[in-house]
């Protein structure tokens, strides 16, 4: 289709995944690319792009979207800041909903894509003035506003010299969001660009409230596999079922016997019945665990709580493949 529009464009197709094993070879190809454009929607791929480009010395144009908001920057341009200066480590798995889960304004990918294309053309033409290197441009489509935030390179960060297991890396500890010039990024506030007039940053972490209850006590709830859950349901088990995802996620796909939908950070005693077993589920099991811990903090007996291991994704795989994905 690209050549239908412009037959003078040379298109190289790679019939393989972009992984730690293939990334450097793909980006080198016959010779290193002049610029890489990010069209990904997940943290592992963004870190992989960033680290590959840093190793090969290639600039890349980043973008992220969620809801009514998008952000864009140019990373690794002539030694400038990289994605790891914006987000040194990834957020907890499941803490940030994907576009499919949280929703995205239909025109937003086009808007951000056009801006990315603009930055690519400027790089290719050598027009460095005004390039989004060392800056993050945030677009709020709902308020029709732009916010331009400076980004500093962390001089003490060790340079990237090799690629790692990015799926494992992004399943690790909570993020420590980097300092952005003129922006307070402490873990006790709403974090970063959100405090500068934007309600949500696409790649920021959302920290849980601290707890005075020990981790052992908080994790003293039941974890139940989807197949085991089905067996117990068929045997007469009748739990009250709580979906702790966003309502927009529930509307896409849900267990048909769900009793209530309450996002995991908003669960409280009024969200559940006063007695009887409770089956808690989310997308992948992580937010379900957090909801169970929160309910235990509020005084709910851990023995009443059953978190669905692997969430609705594992239910789709193990029990009902006909559910929408």
The catalytic site residues sit at 99
Q: How many CB atoms lie within 10 A of CB 216?
A: 7
Q: CA–CA distance from 281 to each of 241, 244, 255, 260, 287 (Å)?
A: 8, 6, 9, 11, 8
DSSP result, 218-240: HT-SEEE-HHHHHHHHHTT---E
- Judge contact between 63 and 41, C-beta under 8 A: no
Tokens of 257: 């016997």
3-state secondary structure of 158: coil
The SS3 call for residue 95 is coil
Rounded to whole angstroms, how far apart are CA atoms 207 and 44? 20
Euclidean distance between CA atoms 249 and 255, whole angstroms: 12
Q: Which of 150, 11, 169, 184 is nearest to 91 (CA)?
A: 169
Q: CA-to-CA distance for 220 and 199, rounded, in angstroms?
A: 35
What does the H/E/C string look like for 253-312? CCCCCCCEECCHHHCCHHHCCCCCCEEEECCCCHHHHHHHHHHHHCCCCHHHEEEECCHH
Token pair 């291991």 is found at 309
């Amino acid at each position: 289709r690209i050549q239908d529009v412009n037959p003078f464009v040379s298109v190289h197709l790679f019939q393989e995944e972009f992984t730690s094993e293939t990334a450097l070879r793909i980006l080198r190809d016959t010779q290193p690319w002049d610029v890489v454009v990010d069209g990904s929607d997940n943290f592992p791929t963004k870190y992989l792009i960033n680290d590959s480009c840093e190793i090969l010395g290639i600039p890349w144009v980043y973008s992220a979207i969620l809801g009514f908001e998008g952000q864009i920057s140019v990373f690794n341009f002539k030694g400038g800041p990289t994605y790891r200066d914006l987000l040194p480590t990834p957020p907890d798995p499941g803490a940030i909903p994907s576009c499919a889960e949280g929703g995205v304004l239909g025109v937003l990918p086009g808007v951000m894509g056009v801006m990315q294309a603009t930055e690519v053309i400027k790089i290719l033409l050598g027009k460095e003035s005004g390039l989004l290197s060392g800056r993050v441009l945030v677009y709020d489509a709902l308020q029709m506003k732009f916010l331009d935030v400076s980004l500093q390179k962390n001089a003490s960060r060790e340079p990237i010299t090799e690629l790692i297991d990015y799926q494992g890396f992004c399943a690790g500890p909570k993020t420590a969001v980097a300092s952005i010039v003129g922006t307070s990024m402490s873990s006790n506030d709403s974090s970063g660009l959100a405090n500068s007039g934007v309600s949500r940053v696409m790649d920021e972490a959302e920290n849980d409230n601290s707890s005075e209850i020990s981790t052992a006590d908080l994790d003293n709830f039941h974890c139940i596999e989807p197949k085991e859950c089905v067996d117990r349901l068929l045997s007469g088990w009748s739990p009250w079922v709580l979906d702790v995802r966003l309502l927009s996620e529930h509307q896409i796909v849900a267990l048909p016997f769900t009793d209530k939908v309450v996002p995991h950070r908003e669960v409280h005693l009024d969200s559940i019945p006063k007695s009887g077993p409770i089956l808690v589920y989310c997308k992948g099991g992580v937010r379900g665990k957090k909801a169970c811990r929160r309910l235990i903090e509020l005084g709910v007996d851990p023995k009443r709580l059953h978190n669905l291991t692997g969430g609705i994704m594992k239910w789709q795989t193990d029990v009902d493949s006909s559910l929408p994905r």
